[in-house]
Amino acid sequence: MKCIKPLLAAAIVMTGMTSCGNDAEALLYKDASAPIEKRVEDLLSRMTLEEKVGQMNQFVGIEHIRANEAHLTEEDLKTNTAQAYYPGFPADTIEKWTKQGIIGSFLHVLTIEEANYLQELALQSRLQIPIMFGIDAIHGNCNCPENTAYPTSIGLASSFNPDMAYKIARETALEMRAMNMHWTFNPNVEVARDARWGRCGETFGEDPYLVARMGEQSVKGYQGDMNSDDVLACIKHFVGGSQPVNGTNGAPTDLSERTIREVFFPPFQAGVDAGALSLMTAHNELNGIPCHSNEWLMTDVLRGEWGFEGFVVSDWMDIEHIHDLHATAENLKEAFYQSIMAGMDLHMHGVHWNELVCELVREGRIPESRIDESVRRILGIKFRLGLFEQPFADPATTMDVRLCPEHRQTALEAARQGIVLLKNDGILPLDARKYKKVLVTGINADDHNILGDWTAKQKPENCVTILEGLKMVAPQTDFVFVDQGWDPQSMSQAKVNEAVAKAKTCDLNIIVAGEHMFRDNWSRRTCGEDTDRSSLDLVGLQQELIERIYATGKPVMVVLVTGRPLGVEWVAEHVPALLNAWEPGMYGGQAVAEILYGKVNPSAKLPITMPRTAGQIQMIYNHKPSQYFHPYVVTPSTPLYPFGYGLSYTEYEYSDLVLSSDKMVSDGSLKVSVKVTNSGSVAGCEIVQMYLRDCYSQVTRPVKELKDFARVDLEPGESKVVEFTVTPDKLMFLDKNLKPIVEPGEFVVMVGASSADEDLLKASFVVE
């Protein structure tokens, strides 16, 4: 494949100025100085039906096709949602269609060389419309090799730092454009309310307000001003797939309209308000209607109520699933019809779309004007991203951006801010003088799995494992490593026995447990996309490993590497120290070690409740008052660790909760202030959280809802007054008729260190 450099790219574009007609000046769509709306209309007027429908279709990359047709069967394709090829349509055919201008987008193109090559083919077409390359850049563009791997979204959310979300998205956009990639299928703004669901790690947690804040900043970071340095954001998955009936990805979702509007819609609406210009619908059916053919979602709400101006894209083969899974369309053609007429703009992915959609138009079932609507949206994005003027990336300069020192530093700082200290009975921070010989073991102790889901294999120098981080931070310590392998489902009893034996000879034992998310081992994963569980227990021999090492009587601590909350109740009750690192990214090992040895004071808080067992699901902090009217018998009704919880190496005291008034008019505002003091001996950052409760209302309301938060840096002995503003939107809910209302009456303000009642100061005011 050719690596097209900018000068050659310019030559190709200039050549195209005269290839579509005799009068170059008439090609208004090639004029970069013309208004985008006029360029779109000019280009649209020149397109055949086949070219229009092709812009609405996406294909996997040709290298992806070649790799998978060698080992996947047609039967495999029916359930595989990560890999594909097109039986009967080899890569050569896809190349030919690209040159014919009937493919508008590709995904799973993982190198700059392939992206430039496919773009070169597209610019040989009649109208020379450039390809838009989409990629699952979920936490950095690290689904491609040699890109910065930041912590996954659940760890980012643990920082309660929207500014960090913006910064990571901004840097990701730059790395993507350096690879000629233009569209990230992120942020995932689903509200995760079932820990069994394997995609919790892709989300910002269980709270609509936190998810909305992190999501909107991600959108702004990706899209910037929508020019040649920016990428298209995609808010997904619309909607409800994060609370499936059985915890499995793509299973039916059955929710009241009230819950949909109050819990699941707000982050999507915030993303639209932030300017998101693409949205992906969800795998699942919602109340009996597949999301991919749901006119209420795509047209009535998204465009009608929220004024969304971008385009809607399907998820992987989900339009096909309207026919072959949900069975609400009797054939593929009918599925395409239902989806387009409901509001779908772009199809991911497949070979039959062009033929069947063109048939539907020629038969008069789909008006060509409806096709034009979608194509206008897609072309408008391509113009705004500057693809007509800058269709290639330069291989000679790509690594000046990717993995640059600034981006590496951001990845390290984000990991430091996202690791949650759950328990510390005085063992932390570790004293290297006291613990001279330390056992390190567990499936995630020395494994690149810390990079998380949606990560390609990276070079060893681009990932610091936890064992490597420990050696880096405490070089004088004798670390004894017992490798338990990467696969929790095939742990060796002999290796467990070896670790227990060596634990007896060590001063301290560190066990790095959790899940396996790495995509290269797709069939052996225990967490991630399409990897859902009926249990939250540690998989394999991990629990035995922890219990037996604990039984040696030597000091022991556990680090969790996971994309979902785990039910580690025994660990929490017995082991002196517990750290939840989530999926901390390329410098996760260094960040974990820095926290363990006190080089960094942990500050993160849980963005999602940790239940004790799967039997507690649904375990959320913002539940309704009657949820535990009758508590569980035998086992507790309380979570293992509540939303917003996280420890520090210092102590924070909250005092002087003051309201600016005890009354507020329904269209006014009210100030809430609280004094926070670092009463310990270590500088730290406290995440101050404000919750509200409507005491009495015409419909039931949650016992508390997060409505604001702030990160506050405090030196030892320092106090700061933190101020929040209560505005009508923070008090609003949907009345009996699902209309927004601010109802008169008493509200309680709660401010503190977590959502747990014992961590909150309380005051009340009346809305008049």
How many angstroms separate the CA atoms of 61 and 132, rounded? 12
Check if the beta carbon of residue 451 is closer than 8 Å to that of residue 138: no
- Residue pair 705/622 in contact (Cβ under 8 Å)? The answer is yes
Buried b / exposed e along 129-168 (16+ C-beta atoms within 10 A): bbbbbbbbbbbbbbbbebbbbbbbbbbbbbbbbbebbbbb
DSSP letters for 474-495: -TTSEEEEEE--S-GGG--HHH
- Where helices occur in 178-207 by DSSP H, the ranges are none
What is the enclosing helix (H) or strand (E) of 557?
strand 556-561
Would you state the structure tokens that stand for residue 363, as one six-digit string?
């038969």
Q: Measured between alpha carbons, how far is 10 from 13 in angstroms, rounded to an integer?
A: 5
C-alpha span between 42 and 30 (Å, rounded): 9
Q: Taking a C-beta distance cutoff of 8 angstroms, is the pair 95, 356 a contact?
A: no
Q: Which of 194, 207, 230, 315 is catalytic?
A: 315
The residues, any chain, with a CB within 8 Å of residue 3's CB and separated by 6 or more, are 112, 113, 116, 395
Q: How far is CA 513 from CA 435, 462, 491, 542, in A?
A: 21, 22, 12, 7
DSSP β-bridge partners for residue 511: 441, 558
Element holding 760 (H helix, E strand): strand 760-767
The first and second tokens of residue 224, run together, are 């910037």
In the numeric block, which tokens belong to residue 397? 């300069």
Q: How far apart are CA 168 and CA 390, in angstroms?
A: 24
Q: At what angle do helices 542-551 and 493-503 cross, to 10 degrees?
A: 20
| Catalytic-residue membership of 315 | yes
3-class secondary structure, 749: strand
For residues 734, 205, 274, 747, the Cα torsion angle rounded to the nearest 10 degrees is: 40
> Which residues are identified as catalytic?
315
